[in-house]
Amino acid sequence: MTLNVSQIRSQFPILQRETANGVPLVYLDSTATSQKPLAVIEAMNDFYRRSNANIHRGVHTLAEEATALYEEARKKIAKFVNAPDARQVIFTRNTTESINLVAYTWARANLKEGDLAILTEMEHHSNLVPWHILQAERGIRLEFIPVKDDFTLDLETYRSLLDQGPKLVSFTHMSNVLGTINPVDEMIRLAHDVGAVTVIDGAQSVPHFSVDVQALDVDFLAFSAHKMCGPTGIGALYGKTSLLEKMPPFLGGGDMIKEVKLRSFRANTIPAKFEAGTPAIAEAVGFGAAADYLLSVGMDAIAIHEHQITEYALDRLEEIPGVKLFGPTADKKGGVAAFSLDGVHPHDVAQILDRDGVAVRAGHHCAQPLHEKFGLPATSRASFYLYNTKGEVDKLVDGIYKVKKYFA
């Protein structure tokens, strides 16, 4: 299936604009946050215009409409990742909060001093810092699967670490820097063989190709709406029912309770147990609309298109003298191209590219340990999604040549 990229681009209003310099926008920063189609914008606008009210306990028309829309969005997200029950989808603020929810609830109830948790060297800070906090608090042990010179994980070391009997294995499905797509099905199976619980950071995978929680048999999957054409401020945690039901509440307040007395309370059932207070209702509606939109385009078609763009981008970038790419070959990665340019700081690269309307990321991308491993303070990063074209890659390459000329 081939995407009609021109038609897709027409559905994203922001892609029609010019930058402050009066040049067309070339948006190559979807790994940080994706742009939003009209279907999402209009769904949220319609909610605020027609159905805005607080959810659940209200019995008036607007409250019932808002509740129905919120819970329908949960069903859409469950369908998107093939969760068997919508109650297994917990709405959070983002991937970071989803991982923290697991760390503050399941982990604090189940991990004790000396217990081993396995992570990887390519993790985003959101899948490092919560476990560092738990290590300081509880004295758990952290070990890390190394990243090899080909930018893939060292699975032999992983197997040897599993021999130490970990209680938890938590890792990214796809690196936000390298683009490496990890063999999650095999890694989850091996973890389960030794009785470990698995947590997958799906922030970079769920938006870009089909992720099936039942096929993977994953215990927890965290992801964000804003990286999959949805709004900011909302994400999701999928969890197995058997684990979620035993976990203590995350935050205390309204809606997460079944009963409250002056000196005690009883927690609600899932998913309400983990959704204290008024949630991001309009954002949930937008999240559901984003899932509908991506499914209507086709996740397999999106994945194929991104692979073609990425392969083309890597070939073009490799042509540029002084550019060094970080990440595996195109067949082992998603739509990310992180690179350095000899003699030029990544921030300068990004700033000069912006003059021509080309938006890329520069920095450590919330993955400082990974950059330290390769002796880099930062990289420039171009990332691609369903709305990007080979012509935009050409503009990126032209811009890098301008950077080289500027610093010659």
Answer for the pair 181, 274: CB distance below 8 angstroms, yes or no. Answer: no
Strand order in the sheet with 361-363: 323-326, 336-341, 379-383, 361-363
Separation between Cα atoms, residue 408 and residue 406, nearest integer Å: 6
Q: What is the DSSP letter of 253?
A: S
**3-class DSSP assignment, residue 223:** strand
Nearest to 91 by CA among 233, 245, 258, 215: 233
Segment holding 65, helix H or strand E: helix 61-80
Nearest to 238 by CA among 225, 221, 250: 221
| Burial degree of 48 (CB within 10 A; 0-12, 13-18, 19+) | exposed
Q: What is the DSSP letter of 93?
A: S
- Sequence-distant (6+) residues with CB within 8 A of 12 are 35, 36, 37, 38, 387
Q: What is the DSSP letter of 377?
A: S
366 part of the active site: yes
Separation between Cα atoms, residue 132 and residue 142, nearest integer Å: 8
Report angle CA 279, 280, 285 to the nearest 5 degrees.
120
Among 3, 304, 366, 376, the one annotated catalytic: 366
Catalytic residues: 366
